[in-house]
Structure 1
Amino acid sequence: MNKNIKIALVDDEVLLIEGLSLIFSKIEHINVVKTANSGLAFLKYLENTKSDDLPDIALVDIQMKPMDGFELVESLKGQYQDLKIIILSSHYKSNIVGHMIKLGVSAFIPKNANRDLLVEAIEAVDKTGVYFTEKDKEMLVQYMTSSTKKISLNANDELSEREIEVVKLICKENTNQEIADKLFLSKRTIENHRQRILDKVGAKNTVGLVVYAIANQIHPLPQ
């Protein structure tokens, strides 16, 4: 890895933050640039930080007070759309995973995950904007098939064959440049395709595109 990935840790469990900080201190390309013990403290930090110094990714807990992780994610997605969010929580259930995905969270990692999984998720989110484990996909199926919590992402206009190709490659965690190389197109053309697809689907980001692709059987789920 050539790029240094700047991350923030937001959790009201001090020991957890200290433990994660120690883990990441031994990983050369992942730098913890901010730790915060509440969502409000993290928002205040962002307000007073220059855009060039903002973290690339925030690891956020769900259960915090006075602002919980759900409220923090909604606020972050409204004000800092370029900030990628990984939820790190012990509440690993299909309805929570589904809700977080709809909000535009890039990954959902249980707190009992090992170091390798955490690093893999951070690297994937930094590169492609999304990271789904096989367990996430299984939970997404449960969420999508729930009669009360079906995901409602539908394209107003049908996707073209080229746009479907792009969506499939996005789901396989290819970057814009990698997609451009595979389709023999310019990176700018792929960026335009991606934005047009987002507009058609009504998704906010790459996570929404993956959810749309799974819901419409463009991207297969594990059997």
Structure 2
Amino acid sequence: MKPRLTIFDEPMLYTEGLSKLLMQSKIFNTIDICNSLETLSRHLKDQPPEILVMSSNILMFTELYKSIEDITHEYNGIKIIIIGNCYDVIDIRKLFNKGIKSYLDKNCKYDEFLKSINALLLNEIYICDHAKERMISFISNEQEKRNLHMKDPLTRREMEILKLICDGYSSKDISEKLFISINTVETHRKRILLKLNVKNSVGIVKYALENHIID
């Protein structure tokens, strides 16, 4: 059975045009339009769709974020597509953490919108190319920052000790496990702190988690 789509956006001329264009694609069974939170709330209660498109034209980011939180809590089966105002990477992450399945910038073309629809129908997530480029740039910048903080890479032995520290082993435990002296362990520990630019074991664990060295 074909899914139902709801579009939460404005102006009406644009939403009606998009609705007619999508109906020609014969992807959806029905397409409904809502242009206020009140009408959207009533519509979701009466007949929740499989896919919901929400735009930043109507709501500020904080309002949009809160609405998504409420919708995903009440109707966890709805797949949400957000058309955002070129949100930054951190805000996009927040939206996905709240349960959206697709993110598109306002400047995306119709073909990419259809790609996102098809991805959702396959139970996949979708991020538009423009947002992906921002994410790649963000990750590259974060990596450069980490490289600046860590002047020298950790040796194999230091990495081994770092993981044991993260597992809660004391210096004495590590010395017994690796058959080295406590003084050697402490020397390695000091070098790890220096290289990671952190002050204590908590900082080591935080670094390991942020860089996916441990889960």
Amino acid aligned to 1:61: S
Give CA deviations for 1:106-143 in whole Å, capped at 9, x if unaligned.
11112232221111110101212411344433434566
Report the structure, 1 or 2, having the larger helix content: 2
Match of 1:115 among 79, 104, 110: 110
Partner of 1:124: 119
RMSD: 2.8
* Shift in Å, 1:11: 1.1
C-alpha distance in structure 1 between counterparts of 2:97 and 2:137, whole Å = 14
C-alpha distance in structure 2 between counterparts of 1:135 and 1:62, whole Å = 16
What is the count of residue pairs matched by the alignment? 144
Decide whether the 8 Å contact of 1:57 with 1:84 is kept in 2. yes
**Are residues 1:17 and 2:15 paired?**
yes
Partner of 1:74: 69
C-alpha distance in structure 2 between counterparts of 1:31 and 1:140, whole Å = 34
Decide whether the 8 Å contact of 1:10 with 1:38 is kept in 2. yes
Q: Which has the higher contact order (CA 8 A, sep 6+)?
A: 1
* Shift in Å, 1:216: 4.6
C-alpha distance in structure 2 between counterparts of 1:143 and 1:96, whole Å = 12
Partner of 2:161: none
Amino acid aligned to 1:100: L
Output the TM-score relative to the length of structure 1. 0.55
Alignment CA distance shift 1:143-1:8 (3 Å): farther
Match of 1:136 among 131, 135, 150: 131
Alignment CA distance shift 1:112-1:65 (3 Å): closer
Instruction: Detail structure 1 runs of 4+ shifted over 4 Å in the superposition.
Output: 141-146
**Are residues 1:95 and 2:90 paired?**
yes
Give CA deviations for 1:186-220 in whole Å, capped at 9, x if unaligned.
xxxxxxxxxxxxxxxxxxxxxxxxxxxxx859xxx
Partner of 1:104: 99
Segments of 5+ residues of structure 2 without an aligned counterpart are 143-210
Match of 1:58 among 52, 56, 80: 52
The 5-angstrom pairing of residues 135-214 of structure 1 reads: 135-141=130-136
C-alpha distance in structure 1 between counterparts of 2:39 and 2:138, whole Å = 32
Seq. identity, %: 20
Larger Rg: 2
Name the SS for the 1:8 alignment partner: strand
Name the SS for the 2:115 alignment partner: helix
Alignment CA distance shift 1:71-1:100 (3 Å): same
Segments of 5+ residues of structure 1 without an aligned counterpart are 147-214, 218-223
Partner of 2:79: 84
